[in-house]
Amino acid sequence: MAATTVPQATTADTTATRKQAVKGPSTPWWLWVCVFGIVVFCLLPFYWLVNISLKTGPDLSSSDLIPPHPSLDNYTSIFQNSSFTRALANSAIVSLTTTFIGVIVGSFAAYALARLRMNGKFLLLGIVLSITTFPQIAIAAPLFRLWSNIGLYNTLIGLIIPYLTFALPLSIYILVSFFREIPKDLEEAALVDGATNFEAFRKVVVPLAAPGLATTAILTFIAAWNEFLLATTLTSSTTARTVPVAISQFTGSSEFEVPLGTQSAASVVISIPLIILVLLFQKRIVAGLTAGAVKG
């Protein structure tokens, strides 16, 4: 009986098909063009901000894509301004404290909503979520009057408390969906091994929920760091003034001069911590935001 001979062309086609399967489908060129356009569209405003921050004097009125005489004088000027450095410290204290309390308390509340059996749980979650849509301007004037009467006006604690009213609903909403995706069997196994409910939460649930916690912390920090309305309403001096308010009150060397250079430099400086956070925790942010999107 004659042996069957495999045609060489068929073997070559099979090899090429296997290589293509390993490499995956090629990305069309138009998709790369779209991605490049989106990246340029998103980064161009920040580049223009850096561009202006490196200009001084008459160069500020020019529209050159590259500064003709780049200088760091604007950056030197803002760090020599004691009100700006104090505002940086105030923003760091308020944002970090708000983030810490918001994530801790929000994780407890979200875990209870995700695990406990209670009537009206979804209604309660809906009410919590509706707070995030509540306009801040509606409570700015009442808070100003209340804080002035009880002595919390122009204090850091007077900013942290209202910041938490918006940070907590955001934390709870993100973490509830994430805690639901963690198998309950893992907690029950820890309880069988002798752990308490809090130990099961701290040693089993929290490590598994790290992407969601990181996402919540970063979003809360960004919201508190950039908040302007309540900060300008509830402060009146450098004692508790935050960075966004301090930048808005920069003045030029004369009455009619707009401090574009120093404001741009300050905006670049306060954007750096947020950029570093996103770059360091981008994988956890994506994992936290997509939690619960796909099941199986």
Report the CATH number that the domain containing residue 158 is assigned in CATH.
1.10.3720.10
Q: Are residues 170 and 273 in the same domain?
A: yes
Encode pLDDT of 160-199 as tens digits. Answer: 999 998 888 888 888 888 888 888 888 888 888 888 888 8
Q: For residue 14, what pLDDT band results from cuts at 50, 70 and 90?
A: low
102 domain-assigned:
yes
| Residue-range definition of the domain harbouring residue 173 | 80-289
Q: Are residues 61 and 84 in the same domain?
A: no
- Determine the Cα angle at 207 with ends 171 and 200, to 5°: 95
Residues 115 and 179: beta-carbon distance below 8 Å = yes
What is the rounded CA–CA span in Å between residue 192 and residue 70?
Answer: 66
Which residues fall within 8 angstroms of residue 54, CB to CB, at 6 or more apart? Answer: 67, 70, 71, 72, 74
22/227: higher pLDDT: 227
Which residues fall within 8 angstroms of residue 83, CB to CB, at 6 or more apart? Answer: 238, 241, 246
158 domain-assigned:
yes
- Determine the Cα angle at 14 with ends 10 and 18, to 5°: 170
pLDDT at 195: 82
User: Within 10 Å of residue 74's Cβ, how many Cβ atoms?
Assistant: 24
Q: For residue 1, what pLDDT band results from cuts at 50, 70 and 90?
A: very low
- Determine the Cα angle at 230 with ends 82 and 262, to 5°: 35
- Give the chain's mean pLDDT: 82
Q: Are residues 116 and 91 in the same domain?
A: yes
199 domain-assigned:
yes
Q: Are residues 37 and 116 in the same domain?
A: no
Percent over 70 (pLDDT), the chain: 85
Q: Are residues 43 and 124 in the same domain?
A: no
Instruction: Please tell me the total count of domains within the chain.
Output: 2
- CA proximity to 171, closest of 227, 111, 97, 110: 110
Q: Are residues 124 and 38 in the same domain?
A: no
Q: Which segment of 8-12, 46-50, 82-86, 243-247 scores lowest on mean pLDDT?
A: 8-12
Q: Are residues 120 and 90 in the same domain?
A: yes
**What's the average model confidence in pLDDT over 82-111?**
92
Q: Is the pLDDT of residue 99 over 80?
A: yes
**What's the average model confidence in pLDDT over 199-224?**
87
Residues 235 and 243: beta-carbon distance below 8 Å = no
Q: For residue 135, what pLDDT band results from cuts at 50, 70 and 90?
A: confident
What is the rounded CA–CA span in Å between residue 53 and residue 50?
Answer: 5
What is the rounded CA–CA span in Å between residue 187 and residue 116?
Answer: 13
Residues 218 and 212: beta-carbon distance below 8 Å = no
Q: Are residues 186 and 260 in the same domain?
A: yes
Q: For residue 285, what pLDDT band results from cuts at 50, 70 and 90?
A: low
